[in-house]
Amino acid sequence: MKEKQRKIMGLIISFVMIITIMPQTIWASDAGSREDAVKWAYAQEGKFLDYDKVYGAQCV
């Protein structure tokens, strides 16, 4: 009987530890419109961007 109680208590403690360790952050984002994406793309025109820092700047 004591062995069964120990197993149950171990499971309960494990469950509580897992729940408390998991982050509870709620992420919210605002999706931009198609027009915002097009404006951004046009704003990047003519810029030199070096995203990977290996092969040098890429023309947009």
The percentage of the chain sitting over the pLDDT mark of 90, rounded to a whole number, equals: 30
Q: Which run of H or of E encompasses 22?
A: none
User: Does the structure show a pLDDT above 80 at 26?
Assistant: no
The pLDDT value given to residue 6: 92
In angstroms, the CA 57 to CA 46 distance is: 12
Which residues fall within 8 angstroms of residue 47, CB to CB, at 6 or more apart?
Answer: 60
In angstroms, the CA 57 to CA 50 distance is: 4
Q: How confident is the model at residue 14 (pLDDT cuts 50, 70, 90)?
A: very high
Backbone angles phi, psi at 48, to 5 degrees: -105, 120
pTM for the structure as a whole: 0.37
The pLDDT value given to residue 44: 85
- What average pLDDT does this structure show over 5-18? 93
Classify 10 as helix, strand or coil: helix
